[in-house]
Amino acid sequence: MRRPYGQSLCGVSPRLLRHRNDYLFILQHLQENEEMLRRALGFVASIASEEEVLQLCQNLHFSQTALAEIKADGLTDRLELFDRLAYLSSRISDSKDYTKLKLAKKLICHLLQNQAAGLQWKSNAFLEYLRENLSLNETELQLLWVLYLRQSGSELDFLNMGISDLADELYVLETCFGMSAQDTGEVLLRDSILSKTGLVEPVGDTVKLPARVLMAIAGNISIAAFQAEHFRPDAASVYSLDSFDLDRIDVEIILALLKGAGPANILLYGKPGCGKTEAARSLIQAAGLDILHVPVHSTGGRHSRLTRLRYADHFSQGSVLIVDEAELILNNAVKFIAFESDSTPAKSVLNTYLDSSRSKTIWILNDTNHLHESTMRRFHFKLHFDKLSRKQRSHALEMIVKKHGIETLVSPDTSSRLLSEEHLSPGVLNQVAHALVQTTKNTPAIDPSVIIDRLLLSNRRVDATQDEEAHVHDAYSLDALNLSISADRIIQSLKSFLALPKKPRNGLNLLFHGLPGTGKTELARYLSHCLNRDLIIKRGSDLLGMYVGSTEQSIAAAFKQAQQSEAILLIDEADTFFRSRVDARQAYEISHTNEFLNQMENHNAILICCTNLIDSFDPAALRRFAMKVEFKLLRSDQRLLLFQEYFRSLIPDMPDVAPLAQALADLENLTPGDFRNVERRIAIWRGNVTWQHLVNELRSENQSKRRGSIRSIGFRQYRPDPPQRYSA
């Protein structure tokens, strides 16, 4: 519905008075075009004040009676003004026969005599700011001002009548605003600077101003607020580069790109929360440059975030742009429902920007799986961030504790527990520290360690398993292990290895073998805690791939991850890769074993392989293990110890040692895993549990196993029966 022309001062609205020079400029051009003037009669009438209308009537020799009628009727409804004037002029004998168009031209001439006409874009602060920083020409600035006049009120709605394509739009701009159709047509192109920077957005074949540009021109938002929509300066303190444990050569390459001449596109990618953004901020400051963040929020038209980036590109002199969470811009090789939107630019558009950008930009995203190869090769340097090692988490924790001033709240034991949480990233640690500060302020009576435990629990992934978290069971005890080499000797050997200078191809390989449930994996977890090292657990099924060569890549990646994070690599079900190559039936089986043997020779970390089937191992694999530790069945004293440790909380009274030892004496096939199974099974039962009941459950576990019952999977080799001899 069309909005009426409001009258408030001398019959003219404040908005019309404010832009009177602009509107007179339009009227000046309308005098020579009767087609457009016929549409604009209501607009012409609304521009004139009551005094100017009455002065026109006096110049046309209207009688006092006619003037009184105009005051009574014509000035209250400006839309009907020229109809009323034409009717009255026909009743005046000494006046000429004036049509509505003639009367409108007379009024326009009268208005132009009293006030100068001209577009006032040069006095607009926002457009002047764009002219200085984007080097916009007069046609571009005038177009922005014209679009503002047309969109900010209803006065110029008549200009939109009959416009169906770009040719009609160019005709209106040339007829009403004196703008060259050729120059304006170039400005309206999709690859013009106005379109690329989001100052205009397409509507069919023409363009309009986005809401934020409209408000900036009108002065409803400040220039600083408009700029914040596109980029945000960041002057906050940053962490030392040493805190990120980055490769020295990688750091030097990035700093050289940031300090050097010309543009640079740097890609940081990896797991969420591993410090990519903070590392980017520290690298930029180390290069002596300012930081500009391109906001993540996306409102507006097509390619909205990329247009913001193009806009920020013009203001990046002496700065580096950080594009965090860049998935919606970069991930275009595969289209998902979540990415099927106007915010995702086409590959050609993105690649064109990367080639033509004048700025230095650090792009940050979680993975590169959906980046097109042609996009990937346009980055000058790519740096992968993996899960933080214990050393890196220690650096991050130290910085965050100092930042929040909570040194007295985090005890050494609490710090050790925090570092054992492998899923904790700098971002999560920062949130935990903030919540700890706020909670201790409001409830100082609560022990900070209790608060931290609850905060850790709330930040742990719901689907995180004990294996992934590498937690050791509360009842774990080295005394319950029946090993061929003592646990103390193993620990001392590992500590001695870690104390040696780090050299290439100088890794330590350990083989844990024995029956299922004897504690092989649990000892590996204990060793990682004892040595303050992360534990990377990989099973055979984790490494096997469905494509040729993918398994070999997974094996190499596991060793690389362990070396980069200085972690212990645990390969469970290692017999998957170490079966004798003589019995291999497929070529890829030999390739898997060869790759694993090659990695064992060339790494410099700690490798622990666990297996239940050592008899099937390839001899070349066995030769590469410096320590081979057999896990045996429990001795009688160990069975008694585990019973007391595991079931202490399940029964009200623990029996005396003598009857309990006698009851467990004949259960010779028990392993630590059997005690855990019974503990889990009893924990979900209801009712009273006696120690005799627990012994019976262990007996069931013992009877379900038979030593030597483990058989290889597959068909047995056919061996024909020997020929029978018959006696005569």
- Mean of all residue pLDDT scores within the chain: 82
Q: Which of 34-43, 522-531, 671-680 has the lowest mean pLDDT?
A: 34-43
Phi, psi of 717 (to 5 degrees): -70, 135
Share of the chain above pLDDT 70, in %: 86
Span 123-136, mean pLDDT? 93
Query: What is the assigned CATH class of domain 232-331+346-385?
Result: alpha beta
> Confidence class of residue 635 from pLDDT cuts 50, 70 and 90?
very high
What's residue 92's pLDDT?
A: 62
Q: Which of 16-25, 105-114, 337-346, 623-632 has the lowest mean pLDDT?
A: 337-346
Give dist(CA 510, CA 566) in Å, integer: 16
Opening angle at CA 378, ends 376 and 384, nearest 5:
45
Distance of CA 614 to the CA centre of its chain: 45
What's residue 457's pLDDT?
A: 80
Q: 365 pairs with which residues across the strands?
A: 269
Q: Is the pLDDT of residue 277 over 80?
A: yes
Residue 461 · residue 423 · CB < 8 Å? yes
pLDDT, one tens digit per residue, over 586-607 is 666 778 888 888 899 889 899 9
Q: Give alpha helix (H) positions in 405-549.
A: 412-420, 426-442, 448-459, 466-469, 487-499, 520-530, 540-543
Which one has a higher pLDDT value, 471 or 68?
A: 68
> Confidence class of residue 33 from pLDDT cuts 50, 70 and 90?
confident
Span 162-173, mean pLDDT? 84
Cα-Cα-Cα-Cα dihedral of 112, 113, 114, 119, to 10°? 30
What's residue 189's pLDDT?
A: 81
Span 46-72, mean pLDDT? 80
CATH architecture of 478-631: 3-Layer(aba) Sandwich (3.40)
Q: 632-644 in b/e burial notation, b at 16+ Cβ within 10 A? A: ebbeeebbbbbbe
Q: What is the CATH number of domain 636-704?
A: 1.10.8
Residue 558 · residue 543 · CB < 8 Å? yes
What's residue 237's pLDDT?
A: 81
> Confidence class of residue 112 from pLDDT cuts 50, 70 and 90?
confident
pLDDT, one tens digit per residue, over 432-465 is 888 988 998 888 888 888 888 888 888 776 554 4
pLDDT, one tens digit per residue, over 535-551 is 889 887 788 877 777 88
What's residue 471's pLDDT?
A: 60
CATH architecture of 121-227: Orthogonal Bundle (1.10)
pLDDT, one tens digit per residue, over 368-415 is 878 888 899 999 999 988 777 777 778 778 888 888 888 888 888 888
Q: Is the pLDDT of residue 653 over 90?
A: no
pLDDT, one tens digit per residue, over 325-361 is 888 788 765 444 444 444 456 788 888 889 989 899 9
What's residue 581's pLDDT?
A: 61
What's residue 46's pLDDT?
A: 82
Nearest C-alpha neighbor of 607 from the set 514, 537, 553: 537
pLDDT, one tens digit per residue, over 234-245 is 988 887 887 777
Which one has a higher pLDDT value, 91 or 529?
A: 529
Q: 229-249 in b/e burial notation, b at 16+ Cβ within 10 A? A: bbbeeeeeebbebebbbbeee
pLDDT, one tens digit per residue, over 703-714 is 887 544 544 545
Span 198-208, mean pLDDT? 86
Distance of CA 536 to the CA centre of its chain: 25
Q: 363-378 in b/e burial notation, b at 16+ Cβ within 10 A? A: bbbbebebbbeebeee
pTM of the model: 0.67
> Confidence class of residue 47 from pLDDT cuts 50, 70 and 90?
confident
What's residue 386's pLDDT?
A: 76
Share of the chain above pLDDT 90, in %: 24
Q: Give alpha helix (H) positions in 580-690.
A: 587-602, 619-623, 636-647, 657-664, 672-683
> Confidence class of residue 467 from pLDDT cuts 50, 70 and 90?
very low
Give dist(CA 111, CA 71) in Å, integer: 19
Which one has a higher pLDDT value, 521 or 426?
A: 521
pLDDT, one tens digit per residue, over 552-582 is 888 888 898 888 778 899 998 888 888 766 6
What's residue 52's pLDDT?
A: 83
β-pairing, 264-270 vs 381-385, is: parallel
Span 606-624, mean pLDDT? 88
What's residue 336's pLDDT?
A: 43
> Confidence class of residue 466 from pLDDT cuts 50, 70 and 90?
very low
Q: Which of 38-42, 66-70, 209-213, 507-511 has the lowest mean pLDDT?
A: 66-70
Q: Is the pLDDT of residue 281 over 70?
A: yes
Nearest C-alpha neighbor of 367 from the set 382, 379, 350: 382
What's residue 10's pLDDT?
A: 52
Q: Is the pLDDT of residue 364 over 60?
A: yes
What's residue 305's pLDDT?
A: 79
- Exposure on the CB side of residue 156, measured as CA atoms within 13 A: 24
What's residue 7's pLDDT?
A: 45
Give dist(CA 148, CA 159) in Å, integer: 13
